[in-house]
Chains A and B, each alone.
Chain A
Amino acid sequence: MVNDCMLEMRNISKEFTGVKALENVNFKVGRGEIHCLIGENGAGKSTLMKVLSGVYPYGTYSGDIVFEGQVQQFHKISDSVKAGIVIIYQELALFPDLTVYENIFVGNEVRRGSIIDWNRTITQAKQMLDKVGLNVNPDTLIKDLGVGKQQLVEIAKALSKNVKLLILDEPTAALNENDSENLLNLLRELKKQGITCIMISHKLKEVISIADKATVIRDGRTICTLDAAKGEISESVIIKHMVGREIDDIYPKRTNQTFGANVLELRNWSAYDAQLGRQVLKNVNLHVRKGEIVGIAGLMGSGRTELALSLFGNAKNYKVQGELIFDGQPRSFKHTSEAIRAGLAYVTEDRKGDGLFLAQDIKQNVTAANLKGVSAKGVINGNEEIKIANDYKESLYIKAPSVEQIVGNLSGGNQQKVSLGKWLFVGPKLLILDEPTRGIDVGAKFEIYTIMNKLIASGMSIIMISSELGEVLGMSDRVYVMAEGEIKGELPISEASQEKIMELATQ
């Protein structure tokens, strides 16, 4: 293949309010290759791609981007698109209520003067769809297509912009095996047509099958670039570089390993989402004992968050079936408040979206789920509230000048700790953590793990939903693996390994 360098990113560093997301990253992509970017969640892959595509404009990072032999200064996304770089995000950026052809040319309309030429739009859309091998009527609305086909529409959209370098952020995360295989074939096809491709992926099998080169990123640094032609790309090598450290280093040890009676038991637990019109959970059986951390692993969309929501007062109004036994009693919670009163707490995956009150301060967030704890007859004792918030600020290592700091201004790690504080203040028996360390730096991660250990030592139980296999293996006492809304397997920690979990999760 070709050896000339299409893209070089030199010494890229990027900081978010005190947290180093990228530190002197060097990254080279040759023309016409498929280059995979690998690393754990939060390693800095997406940030690097956002720097490249101008989401973080020139000047907000340090270092140089050299594209096609020239140092580039992308001030906005359209600058990078003009240069021929198109990024497709994990969460697709399509308009569900518009047609396929409108979506392909949105922001890039085919026009005569300032009037859109719809006929030419449709003809050109058809050509693009042919190129990606998608056989649908361009009139179809996006919401009527499956995720796999939507992904192809995104690629067609990229092609319509004369893309030279296509970046895909976990393109197969939400796809089934068949759709994934189609997509990979398409990428191979595009490569023949001279399109260079960077793909972020967590699925190592995919990487091995498709990558010409693979770069591993860890903790905001480039670790190495592996070359398929030299036979360097293999699962064990990649995992070694991804993890790079003994698991013991970052996961604090626990000493007591005795478990009590079951706190939670689910029997044949199923849930149907009427809004989406599909079954989200199928015959789930699981149990959690007192003092235990149960890890729930699985890929995105495998039903982990839905499981948490269905337990936690059925927050999304699923039609649920089956038995839920909590603290020795069969329960059916009708509202989140009932679940909280019974002793459940749920730290959500998306702390900004549905976890925190960003416009309010730390103390108001900490007490939000248990205002009874700081009030008498409906009147809040403001001083008591400050005192309690201060206690949590200290015990959870929240770094902020005072508890009157607005939560929206805190870093991700500190926000996560506030979210944790809110749920600890309700005094739960079972704490559900959904991606507890997503998007936070290593130091804060360690602190959160330490807190988790303290909590189970005090007799609490924890369900930890996580996409980070290292975290699942490092923190759990037992692991359930989910896929397609079902529990595919249960592994005692002594038998669990990344490979086993992955095997079950991709069944």
Chain B
Amino acid sequence: MVSALDRKLLRDLWRTKGQALAIVLLVACAVTTFVGSMGTWRSLLRSQSSYYDRYRFAHAFAQLRRAPESLALEVAALPGVASVETRVVADATLEVEGFNEPVTARFVSIPPSGEAKLNRFHIRVGRTIVPEGGAEVVVSEGFANAHRLLPGDALTAVIQGKRQSFRVVGVALAPEYVYEIRPGDLMPDEKHFGVVWTSREKLAAATDMKGAFNDIALMLNPDASEPEVLARVDRLFNRYGGMGAYGRKDQVSDRFLSDEIKQLKSNAVIVPSIFLGVAAFLLHVVMGRLVATQREQIATLKALGYSNFTTGMHFGRMILVILACGMGLGVAGGRWMCDAMTRMYATFYRFPSFVIELQWVEIAAAAALTLAAASLGVGGALRRVVSLPPAEAMRPEPPATYHPTLIERLGLRHVASQSVRMILRNIGRRPVRFALSSLGIGFAVAILVVGWFFNDAMDYLIDYQFRYVQRDDATVTFTQPLSHDAVLALQSMPGILRVEPFRAVPVRLRAGHKTFRTALLGLSPGGELRRVIDRRTGPMTLPQEGMVLTSKLADILGVRSGDLLTVEVMEGKRPTRQVVLSATVEELLGVSAYMSQSELNRLMLEGETVSGAFVAMDRAAHGSLYQKLMRTPKVAGVTLREAALFSFENTSAEYLLFFASILVTFATIIAAGVVYNAARVSLAERERELATLRVIGMTRGEVSFILLGELALQVLVALPVGSVLGYLLAMLTASGVDSDLYRIPVIINASTYASSMGVVVAAAVVVGLTVRRRIDRLDLVSVLKTKE
């Protein structure tokens, strides 16, 4: 049996169902975003760690020019090293049937058994290679999907100038390539890059690595000190052209993945907090209003013998019902969002399977947050219920006090019409509520601004990076450093308009105890195809001396212009030099270290040597040029700017569209919820007043104007406030995304502000119209008859 008190609760709830629903939806939005992001965060984290464990993702890695296999024993004997695996890794160009753009592949050797000890792959389709199988390869899933490669297909590769044919026997994923990108890139470009596994024997033969290796992976003991092991490995490899050992956190794929996971967590808090804040505010208004109108009922319950606590709990339960509905809806929504987000992540972070399970921790945390926000919102009202003395409440509430508003005192009294004055007085009577309502609506605007801001920022970033900074049509990388003749050879190719050589050397930058592995890029100071551009001051001419770092990298290393840095070169004669940091540059993508090419050549103790070149080509000649370039023996790879741009746009667009559409939905709920509530509460409070005005002879339109005018004013105030909030929120979000992979500029187009305001105004108008219908249907007699 439902008790009489609970029956009252249900009927009261039903009477305020519109408002209750608004709060339910807001809580649901908050819980959805929270549970969704936290759930995705956990699911990625768990998927990552289980993947890494099951497929024995190594703890440390090192590349070197060439070392005899026997060296592996010495590495294995180092203290702290649990196991090692040597490999041959080589970059090659691929020829894919029916696709005449340049494709680069990273060839990775696997032992004859077909199964590596470390960094194992997960076979998705087909099988692994077998010893007597001949020229078999397993290809990475992203690449295979992009080209619809299946077991049985043929593949031709140019490895160090030699053409070789292979047969695909399997499609696989590996923990090393969860994020399957070409070294140096930021986004996967699966059409132009893939990982290809083949037998050690075959690859060693093609690369002249028989009995030798150029890549090693290490598993460490749990108690090993990683930096110590890395240092020892470096010392061992010094003579063999070691390029510096590094741990997981510097492994490209892991770094991207871990960064993404970290970001998910920080985002999991901001958006839900806004929703909860607004929900708390609405609860505050609705419950405040309810308690005020039920003063006598509360007192009566107490007079009948209900304790303060029971009476308080009666209202508490009403709130709990609302919160529980919101939670329930939110958890279901969160599940959906977690699923959708994980599925989206799965398109560019490749896992054998995702561990998706909603954890009680998240749900409990969401419940705790919701309760905390709610108690903030309704604490006051509940306290009033509990402390209301039963005798006191039998006396009617004193009439509301009105004051001449500030605006009136400022002398507008003569201008304002009677209706406008009533609007202003009512605002003046509850300025805080008016302000909070506006703030709530403002947050809706702000959320929309943030949702669309990502789009603007990405557009800007892409435009900036690919039309302003990188203006080459293609980047050609040589298999090894070459003399300037190689540039001349390129220049002489028909269809090539301009060639700008560059020198890139792997280095370790050291400042104090902080180090960073990167490539030091030597550019010709007057270059047009690849420019160093500062966000604030524009294109920069590289100084003749010293180096230039992306400011983010300078931050990471903790250095400022004028400081000295140690540069340990991992190539050639491997010099170690002190170099002055002559300037920092604000860039949006990646972190880089620049030097003038001639200065870099000097540092390397070499003559005019180049690693590759940026080229501009004649549009008409593209196709034939690719073929020619790819067959040039000294060319290791060709990267197309168009392709990079396309993949960047593609990947980010999908992601952003998803978020924007969620945010738009949620912001609309906020706006509609706040406006609806404000309208309903106003209407309830002023029903008598409005009915009286109608009786006196005001038209429906005039009466509606008094109520809706106030709402319109609320929205009007909210628009600029929301825009400013949106900007601040965008700044906050952008600073949360500030990683060494990319920075998001706070660029918000005017059209974003306009559409954000448009959506909110539209939501307000729809709500306004429904309220208007209610005012029109106001039953004058019954309103005036009811006592209150």
Asked if A pairs with B, the answer is no
